[in-house]
Amino acid sequence: MPVMPAAKLNLWKQELGTVPGWVWEQTELETLILADNGLTEIPERIGGLQKLRTLDLGHNQLSHLPDALGALTGMSDFLYLHDNKLRAIPRSMERLKSLRYLNLSQNGLSEFPEAVCGMTALLELRISDNELGAIPACIFKLVCLREFHLRNNCLRTLPPSVAKLSDLRHLDLRGNPLESLPENIASLPKLEKLDLRWVNSFESPRWIDDLQARGCLVYR
């Protein structure tokens, strides 16, 4: 019987430094794990892995990403980019319209990447431990979003368009210098958890009491 190509390649913590060229020849891969390898770059050849559903590039030294990531339009499960040195992501990544989980935490992002607003299938977005000063109004496009993790950024408020995330269940705002929040957050019909711990600059408005009264857990 012929040997079927492996659908998963796990190269976690192999001290690679660079990705071996043979990896890009594994065009049947659905899962590729390259986490914790001291990687400083990913070549454009990654665009040839058209069957990828999950890609883990976390815990590396990446300061930029190839435009070819946007060609992986079938990636639907997980994209881990946390704990790198990213200050931006390619605009081409807005084409990842099937992706359901994205982790951009622990980078150097000072501006929210608007390419993320094109990832309209996202269920969970983690972009904690960055330097974000604002969330763009286009966030309303993430109509499927259930979890939004924004811990330890530089946010003073959120745009009113957050209230259009009608499927949102968990909003984590811990450790931000919040001064206010839009009142229409109280209208989010499925919100189950609002985390405001380690926020010392924010005086809780009355609508937060209304959230709690309807069963939403508010941590302060």
Q: What is the pLDDT of residue 3?
A: 42
**Terminal-to-terminal C-alpha distance of the chain:** 61
Contact 106, 127 (CB under 8 A): no
- Binned at pLDDT 50, 70 and 90, residue 4 comes out as very low
Whole-number average pLDDT of the chain: 96
Among the listed residues 49, 16, 15, 13, the one whose alpha carbon sits nearest the alpha carbon of residue 32: 49
Spatial separation of the C-alpha atoms in residues 110 and 153, rounded to whole Å: 9
Residues near 4 by Cβ (< 8 Å), separated by ≥ 6? none
- CA–CA dist 90, 67 (Å, integer): 6
* 104-113, 119-128, 201-210: range with lowest mean pLDDT: 201-210
- Please determine, for residue 119, whether its predicted confidence score (pLDDT) is greater than 60: yes
Task: Please tell me the predicted confidence (pLDDT) of residue 2.
Answer: 38
Q: What is the CA radius of gyration of the chain?
A: 19
Q: What is the pLDDT of residue 203?
A: 83
**Whether residue 29 has pLDDT greater than 80:** yes
> Is residue 181's pLDDT more than 90?
yes
pLDDT at 101 over 80: yes
pLDDT tens profile 11-23: 999 999 999 999 9
pLDDT of residue 5: 59
Q: What is the reported pTM?
A: 0.96
Going from the C-alpha of 190 to that of each of 10, 60, 143, 158, 165, the distances in angstroms are 37, 36, 12, 18, 9
For the sheet containing 101-103, what is the strand order?
A: 8-10, 31-33, 54-56, 78-80, 101-103, 124-126, 147-149, 170-172, 193-195, 217-219
Strand partners, 55: 32, 79
Q: Which of the four pLDDT bands, split at 50, 70 and 90, describes residue 32? A: very high
Determine contact, residues 119/95, Cβ cutoff 8 Å: no
Helix (H, G, I), strand (E, B) or coil at 193: strand
Sign of the CA dihedral with 183 first, then 113, 216, and 177 last: negative
Q: Decide: 182 and 163 in contact? Cβ < 8 Å.
A: yes
Lowest mean pLDDT among 15-24, 78-87, 127-136, 203-212: 203-212
Residue 79 has pLDDT above 80, yes or no: yes
State the average pLDDT over residues 192-215: 91
Residue 200 confidence (pLDDT): 86
Structure tokens that stand for 42 in this block: 């990913």
- Please give the helix or strand (H or E) that residue 102 lies within, else none: strand 101-103
Q: What is the pLDDT of residue 204?
A: 83
Which amino acid, 155? L
Please check the confidence at residue 1 and state whether its pLDDT lies above 70: no
Q: Which domains does the chain have, with CATH numbers?
A: 8-131 (3.80.10.10)
d(CA 12, CA 41): 16
Q: What percent of the chain has pLDDT over 90?
A: 93
CA quadruple 130, 31, 24, 22: dihedral sign: positive
